[in-house]
Structure 1
Amino acid sequence: MGTWDIGHFDNDTAADFSGDLDDLPEGERAGLLFGKLREVAGTGDAYLDSDIAVEAVAAAALIAAQCPGGEPVATPYGPDEPLPELPAELRPLAVEALDRVLTEPSELLELWGETEYGEPWKAGVVALRNVLTAAGTEQTSLGPGRR
């Protein structure tokens, strides 16, 4: 995996994932995000491959960008095409996937842990998780169907 910084899209796998999203019709993009998150969340305690984990972190960043307090994905390595409004139901799945990425056995966690940038990378993933968790709580507190 070519990685040039600690951002969620600052590696070859996430940049390729962005291209895959751009290649899909708008109506299919949320499904790709769901699939990547579900793949990671469903690994249980099996070894988690770094490429799969990177795609889930990128998917979570895109979902968090649409949440209150979320930061827009403003990198040239993110998707070029705008995403539709994503279903709020993706938020708890994104949290579950991020929790899995940050739990051993996770190759991505191991790889970052071997560098001096492991803690800042982890802090970035935790920040995504916090935005998603807060948005999920806010959505629930407003009641069904209310925003």
Structure 2
Amino acid sequence: MGTWDTGHFDNDTAADFSGSLDEAAPAERAGLIRSTLAGAAATGAEDYLDCDEAVTAVAAAALVAAQCPGGEPVTTAYGPQEALPAFPADLRPLAVSALDRVVAEESELAELWDETEEGPAWRRGIEELRAVLASGPAPAAEPDAQAPAGRAG
């Protein structure tokens, strides 16, 4: 995995995930976010979470958080360029579960970051993302609303 910084999209795998979102039909983008988060969240605590799966879960969680009150817009050139739908509120707790799994003991991504000097900064970024996702109820979204892709780092 080519990684150049601690941001949620500062690696090749997250950038590729953004490209996949851009290439997906607009009606399929929320489902891609959901399946990415669900895949990471469903990995058992005793199972090893692959680095690529963890990285895409973090990117997906960042996109969900960008639509939450207090969320940071995705402003990096490595995030999706196409408009994303307004995500359903039930993606927030799923994103929290995925992030909890990403920082758990049996996570390759967490292990890799913990071996670096930037590990604490990466963990702070995940904690901040988690806090936005876990805070309060999400406002109801219009079913056909399209949110700008926004771009967060």
The CA deviation string for residues 20-52 of structure 1, in whole angstroms up to 9 with x for no partner, is 000011110000000011100111120000000
SS in 1 for 2:84: coil
Residue type at the aligned position of 1:87: P
Is 1:71–2:77 an aligned residue pair? no
Matched, 1:115 2:119: no
Uncovered stretches (5+) of structure 2, i.e. residues with no partner = 143-153
Q: Structure 1 CA distance, aligned partners of 2:24 and 2:137?
A: 30
Identity %, equivalent residues: 63
Question: Which amino acid in 1 is paired with 2:99?
Answer: L
Structure 1 segments (4+ residues) deviating >4 Å:
none
Q: How does 1:10-89 map to 2 (within 5 A)?
A: 10-45=10-45, 46-89=47-90
Residue correspondences, number: 141
Partner Cα distance (2:141, 2:107) in 1: 37
Rounded Cα–Cα distance in structure 2 between residues aligned with 1:75 and 1:86: 20
* Gap regions ≥5 residues in structure 1: none
Distance 1:48 1:81, change over 3 A: same
The RMSD of aligned alpha carbons is 1.5
Q: 1:146 to 1:29 in 2, by over 3 A?
A: closer
- Report which structure shows greater RCO (CA 8 Å, sep ≥6): 2
Relative to the length of structure 1, the TM-score reads 0.92
Larger helix proportion, structure 1 or 2? 1
**Matching residue of 2:149:** none
Give 1:146 deviation, angstroms: 8.9
Q: Deviations over 1:85-140 (max 9, x none)?
A: 11111000000000000101100000000000000000001100000000xx233x
Kept in 1, the 8 Å contact 2:41–2:98? The answer is yes
